[in-house]
Chains A and B, each alone.
Chain A
């Protein structure tokens, strides 16, 4: 009984700052300016479908890139000596201590047409390339900013995988591919799902990265929502509808990943 009361502050917090705003979003999404119930906001969204799609695709690509890059790093990190693991952790966390905007600005000046990278290519006699204001630049920005959020959960599940399990799999006739698919992947699945969530969700709804690195070419749903509340096309009702649909889409995507996770583990059982 007592433990129940200890969680009271958070429950209160949740009610005021999470549940109530969510109700407001739903209310705004289904009302017009005079407060009448309407589906207009929702039906208006169909024109923005390409933006939704692009957001999900860009975030999806960034998530996959993060996973592919983070998995081997996390594995080898988890097999290092304890003090080396700490150093690696520092190195991975280090960029996160720098301001998010500053980091993204830095990429702007690197990728610009007159930026450092193009100057370097110029010295080699190639280029300049159009790197900024492309989908690629946005994905790069996402990967750069959110990679640690993939590495950390992966690392913390992998550090718990006993190395003798890898040896056991080899002993039973498994080559490297078997060890990866039959032992490491299933056992690190909780880390993979957490990592995907922690990269995909913020990537999907970002507007800073897409605005700074994507320009007009990579206009994302986050930018669109931003416009409805702070921009010229002020319309909180439409903005709420967008937020609501984005939330549902993200939840759907997440349930698909989690579904895969469950299917896999059950399939193996």
Chain B
């Protein structure tokens, strides 16, 4: 990734009625990057987006765009455009005029407006929809118009606020790929807000995981999934077994009374830690061969794999395995050192 930082947030604090929404948030966003702000509702991700868009003024902190402080610049003077959660299309205008809205305000010549809007319609796959009434479009089509309306202004940064939230699963998957394609084709920075971890992993170059107005982790989708920094991130990104453990010494952790070799170090001897193990990283073996053994409590078919719940040491382990097991059976579980992720114990 190049080091060309386009947006830089520094120590942003936002309060609503005494409730802290963003608590000293700092974030750098690189040019041409697809960044996703990911977190549960109320984590401050939409507020962060609205600060970049200019719809929200932070109580303190600064916002830099291309090195210039834009904290006090109104939205219409910023070189960013937004795709709103509920599209916010102008129902009194047709598809063409919705997309042309920003260009008309810039008083561009009609001929240029026409060619740019038509080009945009082609990019979002709505070639013959120019004269259509907004209200006759489906959700997915409205979404495309909203994206076209923002992109036609050739912003340096496009902000997207849960744009696929209202679409059904199949359409959402299509649009995810579509959005990624558009972003790569036009080489624009996308800042994308979602609470859907799968969406974040599919599209992003960088994922920013947030909780309670604080950034938990910034990294590539692979980093976030494979090396979550704490149990919250691990739990939020994909399914996990999160257990209490004791870090006996470097490279040795005790889980439910059994010691495992791992690849982590740097903890105090016998420090209490959280251990995260992904359900697909647990190998099912005959009971005698397993490092741990437990009784199968339930087996649910999930399509690609079976989701198996195994009780061991008072904990319900979740295992994803392509092999079917029988309820009530005693099975063994093996976990490789690489698959054990140790993180500091969370206070809450």
Contact = CB atoms under 8 A, between A and B. Distances in A.
Interface of A: 162, 164-165, 167-175, 178, 182-183, 186-187, 189, 265, 268-269
B115 interface: no
Interface in B284-332: none
Contacts of B94: 269
* Residue of A164, A167, A171, A268 ringed by the most chain B CB atoms within 10 A: A171
- The A contact surface, by secondary structure, is helix
Interface size of B as a range: 20 to 34
A269 B81 contact: no
Given A173-B153, A174-B76, A269-B97, A167 B92 contact: no
A165 B88 contact: yes
Given A168-B84, A172-B102, A186 B149 contact: no
Given A170-B74, A172-B81, A186-B92, A164 B86 contact: yes
Contacts of A189: 92
A171 B81 contact: yes
Contacts of B102: 172-173
* Residue of B74, B88, B91, B149 ringed by the most chain A CB atoms within 10 A: B88
B90 interface: yes
5 contacts: A164-B88, A167-B53, A172-B101, A178-B76, A269-B92
* Residue of B75, B86, B91, B94 ringed by the most chain A CB atoms within 10 A: B75
A168 B53 CA distance: 10
B97 A172 contact: no
Contact of B153 (A162, A167, A172, A265): A172
A189 B75 CA distance: 26
B141 interface: no
Contacts of A268: 92-93, 97
B75 A178 contact: no
A171 B91 contact: no
* Residue of A168, A172, A175 ringed by the most chain B CB atoms within 10 A: A172
A178 B106 CA distance: 11
A167 B91 contact: no
Interface of B: 53-55, 74-76, 80-82, 84-86, 88-94, 97, 101-102, 105-106, 149-150, 153
Contacts of B54: 170
B105 A172 contact: yes
Contacts of A265: 92
A171 B53 contact: yes
Contact of B149 (A162, A172, A175): A172
A152 B62 CA distance: 42
A268 B74 CA distance: 26
Given A172-B149, A173-B153, A167 B101 contact: no
B75 A171 contact: yes
Contact of A162 (B88, B101, B106, B150): B88
Given A164-B86, A268-B93, 10 more contacts: A167-B82, A168-B88, A168-B89, A171-B75, A172-B101, A173-B106, A174-B76, A174-B101, A174-B105, A186-B92
A169 B101 contact: yes
A193 to B, nearest CB: 14
A187 B92 contact: yes
B101 A170 contact: no
Contacts of A187: 90-92
B201 to A, nearest CB: 28
Contacts of B55: 167, 170
